[in-house]
Structure 1
């Protein structure tokens, strides 16, 4: 399964969530979202769970990678 990659680093909410929403609309099987702050991480995570996705979070060097998959 190829995940659509979304780079939302440096963006403040609600932009990461809006980018994630557009991403899952164009690629419903899942997306990989990169963010660099806790607020964006939590908001994207909440959006993913509410939209019925399994959400995995990895932290690397102060940045977060969220994998949303069905």
Structure 2
């Protein structure tokens, strides 16, 4: 089951920090990140890719986005 990072309602850099912490410390291979701004979506995606992760999906969800990250 994927780990979930719910960063809705938080402004950058909080969503990025939460995502990087889950990438580094989490045990799950797949991580779902929920954000509610375009800026957070772009920053989280870029940060995950900089850590060698693949972005397998970015889709609208409610008033925000659901980002699915796969750790290598």
Q: TM-score, normalised by structure 2?
A: 0.86
Alignment of 1:48 onto 2:48: yes
Equivalences, count = 69
SS at match of 1:22: helix
Kindly report the root-mean-square deviation, in angstroms, between the aligned alpha carbons of the 2 structures: 1.2
Q: Tell me by how many angstroms 1:26 deviates.
A: 2.0
Deviations 1:16-63 (A, max 9, x none): 000001111122523110000000000000011111111120112321
Q: What residue number does 1:8 align with? A: 7
Q: What residue number does 2:65 align with? A: 64
Q: TM-score, normalised by structure 1?
A: 0.89
SS at match of 1:9: coil
Identify unmatched segments of 5+ residues in structure 1.
none
